[in-house]
């Protein structure tokens, strides 16, 4: 996969040529680019890498940034409002990029269908399901059956109706079944440029596992609202493993490396192309996450977080007014910190979630403000300064997630081959392996709080931990189950965590009739306040009547 990414830039340039049409300089010139190719002649192999890299980068950015703040993996200490307090603006509110990827994907699907390329047809269905699933996970009801049809000429498709979440979820599960069939032949029987597939190098068998594991994700997603449908779907898949292979090892995970050639294809917090280092410097570990990992003696903490550079020690043996650094430790007398919350952990210190309207001042930071450099709070591990690296991957779907889904299915009493404990323990082992800590598994699994006690709380908590850098899935699980039992900090704009992304205002004005109809199906809550139905605290179909997460 790493070698395949080296060709990515060339492919994207080629794609730009394919989709470009030059403008006429005067009426005597033909409106044709002699170096371009029309959409009717587009090569699916040149469309594929743009779709895959674009979707992976967008999902990674969403999960690592704002939703990492919601799920209290991280907090920002400057320009923190959207990350810490859910005052979302800009990119997270817009679904334009998702629909942009879907339009490219639809072109690839149509061209593959015309050319008889089953591999690209199957991949297009998987990516269609992935992107539409993410859209409805984030916003709720959304254009689906009428989407991507504007070129058909009917004006109704210029203003597509919003389908219900139930229709979208069940629709994408059906499309994933179709993909499973299209991708069921031996790998060597498909015609595909391996380098164009930046996830799996052209291996249909791995795409097939992706399709079925994604269906598993969505069966569990709707299990509280469509229990019989979800249960039968999962049980059927598990009873027919040859027909529905799943992701069961790290070798089959849906990952994308970052090329690291420029700012656009590098890890988002890198300091290689961000000369100011702001994206890295602002992001700190969240105390909720750090404290729980420490309680569990979790070996992954050292992979994800950096130890505090200068620990704080409060000593009653020093004179009043003492504030000095001795042997790399900041020594304080009790009177200096009176009334000020201090974390004196010598190893790892996280920022409290929404704990202050000036989080950069936390733990007596000597340089509070927008350009703070706080030596008393844990930064992310230095690997996150890099543009690329062996652990810096967009993680679209992992073996750990699959195992935890199956653990929950077994916990629910569904007919699956193994026990909840077996799946739960394999989920932990898969995550530890992914982060280079496989050798710690035997000791970790014996830790108090980790040893399985057959509770949903434990399954979802370990899934939350394993979702580091993929916090979108943790958020979706939290909304469905209420676990982990996270609380908004005292400075957050609401007393509870949000449960959806609001529709953007441009959509509300351009497609007003259909957007307002969709809003009429969203349930206001006590936390919606003046935002009414189009609030991050209003409940879409998936949560209505469940009493979850609050």
pTM as predicted: 0.92
Q: What is the pLDDT of residue 268?
A: 97
Alpha-carbon distances of 1 from 254, 255, 427, rounded to whole Å:
11, 9, 24
3 confidence band (pLDDT: 50, 70, 90)? very low
Give pLDDT tens digits for 153-200: 888 889 999 999 999 999 999 999 999 999 999 999 999 999 999 999
* pLDDT tens digits along 483-525: 999 999 999 999 999 999 999 999 999 999 999 999 999 999 9
pLDDT of amino acid 151: 83
How far is Cα 390 from Cα 299, in angstroms, rounded to an integer? Answer: 18
Return the closest-CA partner of residue 48 out of 261, 213, 192, 206.
192
pLDDT at 18 over 70: no
Average pLDDT over the chain, rounded to an integer: 93
The CA distances from residue 288 to 354, 380, 404, 489, in Å, are 11, 15, 21, 10
Q: Which CATH class is domain 2-265?
A: mainly alpha
Of 140, 76, 118, which is closest to residue 360 (Cα–Cα)?
Answer: 76
Q: What is the pLDDT of residue 272?
A: 97
pLDDT per residue as tens digits for the range 210-251: 999 999 999 999 999 999 999 999 999 999 999 999 999 999
All structural domains of the chain with their residue ranges: 2-265, 287-385
User: What DSSP string runs through 398-432?
Assistant: -HHHHHHHHHHHHHTT---SS-HHHHHHHHHHHHH
CB 130 within 8 A of CB 396: yes
Strand pairing partners for 351? Answer: 286
pLDDT in tens, 266-316: 999 999 999 899 999 999 999 999 999 999 999 999 999 999 999 999 999
Tokens of 220: 């569990």
């Amino acid at each position: 996969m790493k070698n395949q990414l080296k060709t990515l830039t060339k492919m994207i340039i080629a794609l730009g040529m394919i989709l470009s049409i030059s403008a006429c300089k005067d009426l005597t010139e033909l409106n044709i680019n002699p170096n371009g190719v029309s959409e009717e002649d587009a090569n699916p192999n040149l469309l594929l890498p743009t779709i895959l890299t674009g979707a992976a980068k967008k999902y990674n950015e969403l999960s690592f940034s704002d939703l990492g703040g919601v799920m209290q993996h991280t907090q920002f200490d400057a320009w923190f409002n959207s990350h810490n307090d859910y005052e979302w603006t800009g990119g997270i509110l817009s679904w334009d990029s998702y629909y942009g990827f879907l339009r490219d994907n639809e072109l690839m699907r149509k061209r593959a269908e015309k050319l008889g390329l089953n591999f690209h047809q199957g991949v297009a269905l998987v990516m269609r399901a992935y992107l539409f699933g993410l859209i409805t996970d984030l916003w709720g009801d959304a254009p689906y059956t009428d989407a991507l049809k504007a070129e058909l000429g009917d004006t109704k498709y210029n203003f597509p109706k919003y389908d219900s979440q139930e229709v979208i979820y069940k629709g994408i599960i059906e499309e994933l079944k179709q993909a499973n069939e299209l991708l069921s032949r031996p790998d060597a029987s498909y015609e595909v440029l391996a380098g164009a597939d930046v996830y799996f190098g052209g291996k249909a068998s791995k795409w097939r596992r992706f399709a079925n594991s994604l269906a598993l994700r969505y069966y569990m997603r709707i299990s509280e609202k469509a229990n019989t449908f979800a249960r039968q779907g999962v049980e059927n898949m598990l009873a027919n493993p040859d027909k529905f292979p799943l992701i069961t090892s790290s070798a089959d995970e849906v990952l994308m490396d970052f090329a690291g050639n420029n700012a656009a294809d590098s890890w988002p917090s890198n300091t290689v192309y961000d000369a100011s280092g702001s994206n890295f410097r602002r992001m700190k570990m969240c105390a909720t996450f750090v404290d729980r990992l420490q309680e569990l003696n979790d070996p992954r903490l050292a992979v994800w977080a950096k130890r505090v550079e200068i620990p704080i020690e409060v000593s009653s043996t020093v004179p009043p007014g003492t504030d000095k650094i001795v042997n790399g430790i900041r020594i304080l007398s009790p009177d200096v910190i009176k009334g000020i919350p201090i974390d004196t952990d010598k190893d790892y210190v996280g920022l409290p979630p929404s704990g202050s309207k000036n989080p950069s001042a936390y733990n007596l930071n000597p340089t509070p403000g927008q350009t703070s450099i706080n030596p008393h709070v844990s930064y992310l591990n230095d690997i996150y300064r890099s543009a690329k690296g062996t652990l810096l991957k967009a993680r679209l779907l992992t073996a750990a997630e699959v195992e935890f889904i199956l653990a929950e299915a077994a916990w629910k009493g569904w007919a699956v081959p193994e026990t909840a404990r077996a799946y739960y323990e394999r989920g932990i082992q898969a995550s530890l392996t992914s982060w280079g800590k496989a050798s710690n598994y035997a000791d970790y699994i014996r830790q108090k709080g980790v040893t399985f006690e057959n509770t949903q709380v434990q399954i979802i908590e370990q899934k939350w931990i394993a979702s580091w850098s993929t916090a979108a899935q943790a958020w979706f699980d939290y909304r469905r189950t209420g676990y982990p039992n996270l609380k908004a900090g005292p400075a957050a704009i609401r007393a509870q965590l949000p449960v959806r992304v609001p529709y953007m205002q441009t959509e509300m004005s351009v497609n007003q009739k259909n957007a307002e109809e969709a809003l009429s199906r969203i349930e206001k809550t006590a936390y919606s306040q003046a935002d009414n139905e189009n609030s991050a605290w209003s409940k879409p179909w998936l949560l209505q009547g469940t009493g979850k997460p609050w």
